[in-house]
Structure formats: structure tokens, C-alpha cells
Amino acid sequence: MKARIVFIMLTWWMVIGCASNHKLAQVPVMQTITYEPQLIPIHAPADSALLRMLVECDSAGNVVLKELEELKGKGVATRLSVEGGMIAYKANFKGKDSTAIVNHITVSKEVPVEVPVPYEVNVLTWYQRLLMALGVLLLIVILVKIIINALRNI
């Protein structure tokens, strides 16, 4: 019975004596948001123009311009000219490009990572050294008792 208790205590001391005091540190979570203004071009669609003319012939055989109607948008510059019986119509379409200021948002997150804390390897604490010494002492006592019992039985 005593041998069982001694064996259990010896095993218990050996298991507790090997405990580690290794701890992990955590990096705190941090989030940063940055706003960067950017200029983005906005392209407007082209405009259009329409020219309608009403032309008649008089009794002498000449061409007479009775009516002229021109429809155009704000972004169109036109020019109409009549030279030597020839009509020239020129239209310049000005696409109105503009820019808008838009904030470009960048979100940066730091993710927590477990970082091992530096520690010394194979350094025993005072408690581990005490348990080790008690275990060695107990082992010596057990061996001495076994040898004494073996010599008595001979």
C-alpha cells in the first residue's frame, strides 16, 4: 500500500515538475482609415444640330430662300455661309468635360497575431528544482529499502 502511494506521489511530482511558464502576447487590433481626394474626369455626351431651309424658285428662275430654321444645343457652335450659289454649313461640337473630386477611401486593419514572448529555454524555476531534488531523494530512499529488503530475504 505504501509503495503505491509513494509511486503515485513520485509520478505526480515528476508531472508537476515539468510545467512550462511559456506565455503568449497578443498584438492589439488597430484600424486606420485614410481619405485621399482624387480628380475623376466626367465625359458629357456630344450635342446635335439641325438646319431646315425652305427654298422656292421665282418667276425669273432664281432661287429664293424663304425660310431658315436652325435648332442646336448649348454645346454646338455653327456657321452658315452662302458664297457663289453654294451654301456651307459648319458645326463644331464641344463636348463638355468636367472633373469631380472624389474621396478615395483606404481602410487598413492590423490583425492580431500570437507572438511568442522570448524566454530562456531549459531554465528551471526554484519550485521545479525543489521537486526534482525531492524526487531524487525519494528514489534513493526507495532503492535503499528495496536493497535492504532483498538482503534480508537472502
Cell (9 digits) for 79: 456657321
pLDDT tens per residue, range 28-58: 677 788 888 888 887 777 777 888 888 888 8
At 147 the pLDDT is 94
Given a contact cutoff of 8 angstroms between Cβ atoms, the answer to whether 33 and 94 are in contact is no
Verdict on whether the full-model pTM lies above 0.85: no
**Own/partner long-range contacts of 14-22 (Cβ < 8 Å, ≥24 apart):** 14/131, 14/135, 16/131, 17/127, 17/128, 17/131, 17/132, 17/135, 18/128, 19/128, 21/119, 21/125, 22/116, 22/117, 22/119
Give the model's confidence band at 26: pLDDT under 50 very low, under 70 low, under 90 confident, else very high. low
Give which of 136, 131, 112, 126 is closest to 21, Cα–Cα.
126
| Residue 71 confidence class, pLDDT cut points 50, 70, 90 | confident
Q: Does residue 151 or residue 46 have the better pLDDT?
A: 151
39: Cα separation from own chain's centroid: 23
Q: Do 104 and 37 form a contact (C-beta atoms < 8 A)?
A: yes
H/E run at residue 84: none
pLDDT classification of 24: cutoffs 50, 70, 90: low
Mean pLDDT of the chain: 81
Per the listing, cell 531554465 goes with 123
d(C-alpha 62, C-alpha 52), whole Å = 20
